[in-house]
A and B are shown apart, each in its own frame.
Chain A
Amino acid sequence: MSGVVETNGVSKWYGEVLGLNAFTASFGRGITGLVGPNGAGKSTLFKLLIGQLRADQGSLRMLDEDPWNNVPLKRRLGYCPEHNQLYGWLSGQQFVETLLRLDGMPARQATLAAVEALKLVGLSKAAHRPTRTYSRGMRQRAKLAQALAHKPEILILDEPLSGADPLARVQILRTISDFARDGGHALMSTHVLYEIERITNNIVLIHNGKAIASGDIHAIRALIDEHPHAVRLTTPRPRDLAQVLAGMDHIVAFEFPAPDALLVRTRKPDAFYKELPEVVVDGGPEVTGLESPDDSLDAVFRYLVG
Chain B
Amino acid sequence: MIGLELLRVLRQATTVTGLTLRYLLGTRRVIPTALLGAVPFILTLALAAGNVENFDIVLFQILLVPLFLQVVLIFVTLVSATTLIREEIEDNTLPYLLTRPISKPAIVSYKYLGYLAAVLILLIPPLVLAYVVTDLYAGDSFTADLDVLGAFIIATILGSAAYGALFLFLSVVVRKPLAAGLLFGFVWESIVGSIPGDVRLLSIIHYLKSILKDLIAVGPVTFYESTVSAEIAFAVLIGMAVAMVVLSMVRLHGMEFRQKA
Contacts and interface: CB of A to CB of B under 8 A. Distances in A.
B182 interface: no
Nearest to A43: B260
Contacts of B219: none
Nearest to A52: B257
A69 B93 CA distance: 18
A89 B101 contact: no
A87 B180 CA distance: 26
A299 B260 CA distance: 25
B260 A102 contact: no
Contact of B260 (A79, A83, A99, A146): A83
Contacts of B258: 14, 44, 47, 52-53
B12 interface: yes
A84 B14 CA distance: 26
Given A82-B261, A102-B15, 8 more contacts: A14-B258, A53-B257, A79-B95, A81-B92, A81-B95, A87-B23, A89-B22, A90-B22
A50 B95 contact: yes
A106 interface: yes
B101 A82 contact: no
Contact of B256 (A52, A74, A89): A52
B102 interface: yes
B27 interface: yes
Interface string B76-105: 000000000000000111011111111110
Interface residues of B, number: 31
Nearest to A44: B258
Interface string A1-43: 0000000000000100000000000000000000000000001
Given A71-B102, A89-B23, A102 B97 contact: yes
Interface string A63-99: 0000001011011011101111111011000000011
Interface of B: 7-8, 11-12, 14-16, 19, 22-23, 26-27, 91-93, 95-104, 253, 256-258, 260-261
Interface of A: 14, 43-44, 47, 50-54, 69, 71-72, 74-75, 77-79, 81-87, 89-90, 98-99, 101-106, 146
23 contacts: A14-B258, A43-B260, A47-B258, A51-B98, A51-B99, A52-B258, A69-B103, A71-B102, A71-B103, A74-B101, A81-B95, A81-B96, A82-B260, A85-B92, A89-B22, A99-B96, A99-B100, A101-B14, A102-B100, A104-B7, A104-B101, A105-B11, A106-B11
Dominant secondary structure at the A interface: loop
A72 B93 contact: no
A101 B258 CA distance: 26
A85 B91 contact: yes
B235 to A, nearest CB: 33
A53 B100 contact: no
B98 A50 contact: yes
Nearest to B97: A102
B256 A83 contact: no
Contact of A52 (B23, B91, B95): B95
A172 B100 CA distance: 22
Nearest to B9: A104
A101 B13 CA distance: 10
A87 B97 CA distance: 11
Nearest to A81: B95
Contact of B104 (A69, A87, A90): A69
Contacts of B99: 50-52, 74, 77-79
A87 B23 CA distance: 9
A47 B257 contact: yes
A85 B257 contact: no
- The residue among B8, B11, B12, B100 with the most chain A CB atoms within 10 A of its own CB is B100
Contacts of B100: 74, 99, 102-103
A1 B113 CA distance: 42
B98 A98 contact: no
A71 B103 CA distance: 6
Contacts of A89: 22-23, 26-27
Nearest to B15: A101
Contact of A75 (B14, B15, B16, B101): B101
Contacts of B23: 87, 89
Contacts of B12: 101-102, 104
Nearest to A97: B15
Given A52-B257, A54-B256, A102 B93 contact: no
Given A53-B256, A54-B256, A71-B103, A104 B11 contact: yes
